[in-house]
Amino acid sequence: MKYLLAVLLMVVARPALAADEDGFVPLFNGRDLTGWVNANCAPETWSVRDGKIFCTGHPVGALRTTRQYENFILEVEWRHLQSAGNSGVFIWGTPISAPGVPFLRGIEVQVLDHGYATNYEKQNGKKSDWFTTHGDVFPIHGATMVPLGKHKGSRSFPSEERSKGVGEWNHYRIVCNNGSLRLHVNGKEVSGGDDCNYRKGYLALESEGAPIEFRNLRIKETPSGNPAPELVAPVDPGWQNLFTGLDLRGWRTNAATATRWVAGGRIGLKEGAASPDATLWTEKEYGDAELLFDCRPAKPAAGKEGVSPAVFVRGRDGKGVEVKLSGLVAGRHQRVTINLKGRELVVKVNDKETQKEMLPADAAARGAFGLRDTGAAMDLMNLHVREL
């Protein structure tokens, strides 16, 4: 009996042993999202169902790995649960979204259902010449790549149509080596690119409007090519997402804020008479911390002067130290960081220091961040905070 039990244990253990000997390790444990970070979505956007990663598709955003990868072979299976579903696998991505968009900067391996192309053809009377549903590869939002084979711009089109439709599982094998990427769809190489920048960064799964499932994610790392610093994505310094992309959870609201602020992809402030009671405050308080967000002030009406957006720091009981953000260009998203350490406050716009000042001696040591109602329309997105 003992001998039989030992044999059975050896048989059961063989698949795991074979996987280890093959050099692959799982990226998903089948139980929870350990090893992954919800970059900019609602808490319910990403979950685990029946041993698979499930995505609602709302809002647009990403679930990324906790660590960066450089050279590797990545395998993942996916299936759309709705016709015309859209998603992607991001390679060598940034830890948070690029300025003004909900997407990470990186190389996108397209995950698109055939219904998307069918709808395009019905609406336009012809097939698309700028995308396919069989494994396009392309750089997005600052990334660069030289596409292989048939392409348009920097978008590499697949050499064969091999992906399956809604409800069916597809297998991607993505081989990355020293800035070169090759995509295999259901067993055959079809597309890719060279000279990618970045060529080391985070891996991510995309939420983009429709439910989708992922399973059997595994990776085999290969030796580093020691890329130059400019070819490596920024390392996450500890950003925490402050906006669900859907609503104002995590912010203190009341009747006044409900009439002045709207949420859905972005946090928007309506044009109108300013109300001090309509300031949006974070529910959590912070001491030394850095706040990051993308701000797009609306263009003022003809003959009127623009109003500078403003943020409160170290807020308590509806009051705080006001920081007016000077120099922002109307009609354009700009990335703003407010770094607060002790009493010293430093503001940067698009990585350039624009303000530096000392908080009053009686300022609170800890407090909430507040988005002030200035009466001028604007929208904000990609709101993050990190404690220093």
pLDDT one digit per residue (tens) for the chain, 388 residues: 444 444 334 434 434 433 446 899 999 999 999 999 999 999 999 999 999 999 999 999 999 999 999 999 999 999 999 999 999 999 999 999 999 999 999 999 999 999 999 999 999 999 999 999 999 999 999 999 999 999 999 999 999 999 999 999 999 999 999 999 999 999 999 999 999 999 999 999 999 999 999 999 999 999 999 999 999 999 999 999 999 999 999 999 999 999 999 999 999 999 998 998 999 999 999 999 999 999 999 988 766 777 889 999 999 988 999 999 988 999 999 999 999 999 999 999 999 999 999 999 999 999 999 999 999 999 999 999 999 9
Alpha carbons 334 and 331: distance in angstroms, whole number: 10
CB 18 within 8 A of CB 11: no
How high is the pLDDT of residue 303? 64
CB 185 within 8 A of CB 134: yes
Helices (H), 163-289: 255-260
CB 374 within 8 A of CB 363: no
Tell me the domains of the chain and their CATH numbers.
Answer: 12-233 (2.60.120.560), 251-387 (2.60.120.560)
How high is the pLDDT of residue 199? 98
How high is the pLDDT of residue 317? 86
From the list 104, 99, 20, 101, the residue with the least C-alpha distance to 65 is 104
Strand partners, 193: 147, 181
How high is the pLDDT of residue 14? 38
How high is the pLDDT of residue 306? 77
How high is the pLDDT of residue 10? 42
- DSSP reduced 3-state for 27: coil
